[in-house]
Structure 1
Amino acid sequence: MGVCPVCNGLKKVDVNCENCTNLMEEKGRYMDYFDDYSPYMPIDQMKLEDGIPDDYKNRQCPHLYRCPACGTDSVILIGE
């Protein structure tokens, strides 16, 4: 099992907004926003249900980034 460096505070990933080029804010794992119990489900199980092809197979952790300036959301895959 891999370890996500962003989830574990080992690394910060800066992402610029595609829309306005401002620095986006990391808002946590993408699948934590699915429903009330998502943050408590096993991570590998959620990767199989999140609709992102191959994130489980490629050992990637999807994170939600939001632009504070224009409100654009992006899902960024972080290598584990």
Structure 2
Amino acid sequence: METACFLCNALRTITPECSCGEVMLDSGPVTDYTGPYSPYFNVSFASEYCLHLFTCPACGNDQIIAVPLCVIREP
């Protein structure tokens, strides 16, 4: 069964609110900051979630949000 992150693949967006009241921006998957660079690094997920880093443009706070993966079904 293949899975994909709907945020990484621009299928949907989410807009979490920071504690200061501003909307946080998606800064991408955490693996972009901690893992080796490879355009295919996230092709095979070992988890049911993709961890995304969200950053507040106003106060600079960061928050990691676990985004559930969606199942890709073949036609």
* Both structures adopt the same fold (TM-score exceeding 0.5): yes
RMSD over aligned CA atoms reads: 2.0
1:69/1:43 Cα in 2 relative to 1: closer, same or farther (>3 Å)? same
Structure 2 stretches of 5 or more lacking a match? Answer: 70-75
Larger radius of gyration: 2
Of the two structures, which has the highest relative contact order with CA contacts closer than 8 Å and spacing of 6 or more? 2
Deviating runs (4+, > 2 A) in structure 1?
A: 41-45
Q: 1:51: which partner in 2?
A: none
Q: 1:24: which partner in 2?
A: 24
In proportion to residue count, which structure has more strand?
A: 2
Deviation at 1:21, TM superposition (A): 1.9
Structure 1 stretches of 5 or more lacking a match? Answer: 49-55
Provide the TM-score with structure 2 as the length reference.
0.76
Deviation at 1:14, TM superposition (A): 0.8
In proportion to residue count, which structure has more helix?
A: 1
Percent identity reads 30
Deviation at 1:44, TM superposition (A): 6.9
Asked if residue 39 in structure 1 is aligned to residue 44 in structure 2, the reply is no
Provide the TM-score with structure 1 as the length reference.
0.72
* Deviation sequence 1:4-55 (CA, Å, 0-9, x none): 00000000011101x30210000111110125xx23163277x76xxxxxxx
